[in-house]
Amino acid sequence: MMILNNISDMRKIVDQWKKQGLTVGLVPTMGFLHEGHESLIKRAAAENDRVVVSIFVNPIQFGKNEDFSVYPRNIERDSSICQRAGAHAVFNPAADEMYLDGFSTYIDVGDISKELCGKSRPIHFRGVCTVVAKLFNIVKPDRAYFGQKDAQQAAIIHKLIKDLNMDVELVVCPIVRESDGLAKSSRNVYLNPEERKAAPVLHRALCAGESLISSGQKDAEAVKKAIADVINTEPLAKIDYVDVVAFPEIKPVNGDISGKTLVATAVFIGKTRLIDNFIVG
Amino acid sequence: MMILNNISDMRKIVDQWKKQGLTVGLVPTMGFLHEGHESLIKRAAAENDRVVVSIFVNPIQFGKNEDFSVYPRNIERDSSICQRAGAHAVFNPAADEMYLDGFSTYIDVGDISKELCGKSRPIHFRGVCTVVAKLFNIVKPDRAYFGQKDAQQAAIIHKLIKDLNMDVELVVCPIVRESDGLAKSSRNVYLNPEERKAAPVLHRALCAGESLISSGQKDAEAVKKAIADVINTEPLAKIDYVDVVAFPEIKPVNGDISGKTLVATAVFIGKTRLIDNFIVG
């Protein structure tokens, strides 16, 4: 497995592969890999001749008061996870390799990026779309792999690909969880032991919401209230949002749930913001 | 030569060419082709194995009160010009093929798009960047050909390619002129005989500015004034701007001209807005 730090080297490798007629899968990550990422890499390795994992903590998707500078990093550990999971190359550029002096070009997908996480993170998805377009232009993947844990992100990448006619197939993979239900996330490392014990409340609350829907409840407000009620039993939890939206359009559901629907929540456990979701229909 | 109206057909052809290892040149146009476009197509044919000319009057780069609906169109004539000049395919999609229902994704290159034409056409370059990215994603050209007549556009595409790591070489070709100096433009057809007689004033004025610089004048204000003075001798002409900016940064030059510099003007002749420019240094 190769580790590449600059764009021209990455491009050369991919161009060689393409000339040989090999298919390429890309798994874009911010590193500090966990079993969720690993499942994406394994899926990519099963479906493509070559797999590139990008590891890049993307500065332009973090707000001023967010955790860019302290976001966990461990390239050695990440590399061995990538190799074990079947990657052929890790693309790990520095920030000034990706953003040259004077960089000022951004991609905005519109309203879909303003709901859910977009409400409290106004520049986040603009940064995500921009870096994903850059990675697609560098790696030229046939398929790109994203996790359902970031369901709004997946919906936004779907729209980005469609609106800009990118020739990439989006593959969205299931959420991977700890044994107590907490969705795997690089940010789980921020949790102290007490917070870690509290964190599965997101999943427990969403399960309660899902059961309610299964048992016939269609009213979005009732589902949201049931989920919030469970979260609010946890003193360390502070809700950012509990929301019900059409998927992948990410349009708020007012009234009855029908068709493919995303039920998503973002909750602060102490200072750590965690997200989780499920999709019905 | 093929004429293709839909994206998937265009993609199939290009993918076949790529598999054969052929290079592809793209000439993006809005049609109603003239000798300026023809020079781009000929250059592309000389430098690439295959040439695609896109003909698409792009609605999202026109402002509400601009000439989208009346912009001249003649696909039959355009096709024969393309064939004669050496194109292998014309890509001529309908607007609803390029912009599906719910389209909402735009690329903005920042300050460079706010000077010169960007001042009076605030959404223009956002629309240009977005459609060019779409065309690049569909046609996957090795090289793309643009005319220097739209010098700010060329600078913006240069920035778009650089900032988003697009794997495309930009080729900028010289302005082609009528025998009286008027820069070739699809919009020249709007001019009535009297206006047509007045229109070469842009070129005459720019030549006066260029002579002044050649003779040692470095002050940007003095050059702008000299150009404006010539344009203002023409009663049918109304200046939108005369400007001096660093190229390709498109940053206003205050004080002395040094380094690569674009001197550009936009002038209404009657209701028709014409542009022209020269580059020094």
Closest residue on chain A to B105 (Cα): A109
Sign of CA dihedral A140, A25, A168, A127: negative
Q: Are strands A237-246 and A261-269 parallel, antiparallel or unpaired?
A: antiparallel
What mean pLDDT is predicted for residues A135-163?
98
Look at residue B68 in the predicted model and tell me its pLDDT.
97
What mean pLDDT is predicted for residues B138-167?
98
Look at residue B249 in the predicted model and tell me its pLDDT.
97
* Integer Cα distance of B42 and A98 in angstroms: 35
* Integer Cα distance of A178 and B184 in angstroms: 66
Burial class (CB in 10 A: 0-12, 13-18, 19+), A246: middle
Look at residue B69 in the predicted model and tell me its pLDDT.
95
Beta bridge partners of A267: A239, A274
Q: Which residues contact A221 (CB under 8 A, 6 or more apart)?
A: none
Burial class (CB in 10 A: 0-12, 13-18, 19+), A159: buried
Contacting residues of B for A134, CB less than 8 Å apart = 164-165
What mean pLDDT is predicted for residues B243-251?
98
**Two tokens, residue A268:** 């602060």
In which element (H, E) is residue A28 found? strand A24-29
- Give the one of A107, A159, A249 whose C-beta lies nearest to B107's C-beta: A107
**How far does the CA of residue A110 sit from the closest CA of chain B (Å)?**
5
What mean pLDDT is predicted for residues A60-73?
96
Contacts 24+ apart (CB under 8 A), B245-248: B245/B115, B245/B116, B247/B151, B247/B155, B247/B279, B248/B154, B248/B155, B248/B158, B248/B159
Beta bridge partners of B239: B267
Residues 98-157 of A with CB under 8 A from B: 100, 102-112, 129-130, 133-134, 137-138, 140
pLDDT tens-digit series, residues B140-154:
999 999 999 999 999
Residues B159, A7: C-beta atoms closer than 8 Å:
no
**What CA–CA distances, in Å, run from A276 to A27, A132, B32?**
20, 22, 53
pLDDT tens-digit series, residues B6-48:
999 999 999 999 999 999 999 999 999 999 999 999 999 999 9
The interface predicted TM-score (ipTM) is 0.97
pLDDT tens-digit series, residues A241-272:
999 999 999 999 999 999 999 999 999 999 99
* Integer Cα distance of A123 and A125 in angstroms: 6
Please identify every residue of B annotated as catalytic: 37
pTM of the predicted structure, to 2 decimals: 0.97
Kindly state the percentage of chain B with pLDDT values over 70: 100
Q: Does B164 touch chain A (CB under 8 A)?
A: yes
- The confidence band for B115, taking pLDDT boundaries of 50, 70 and 90, is very high
Beta bridge partners of A27: A53
Look at residue A72 in the predicted model and tell me its pLDDT.
96
Burial class (CB in 10 A: 0-12, 13-18, 19+), B215: exposed
Angle at B101 between CA B96 and CA B107, to 5 degrees: 85
- The confidence band for A7, taking pLDDT boundaries of 50, 70 and 90, is very high
What mean pLDDT is predicted for residues A27-32?
98
Indicate the average pLDDT of chain B: 98
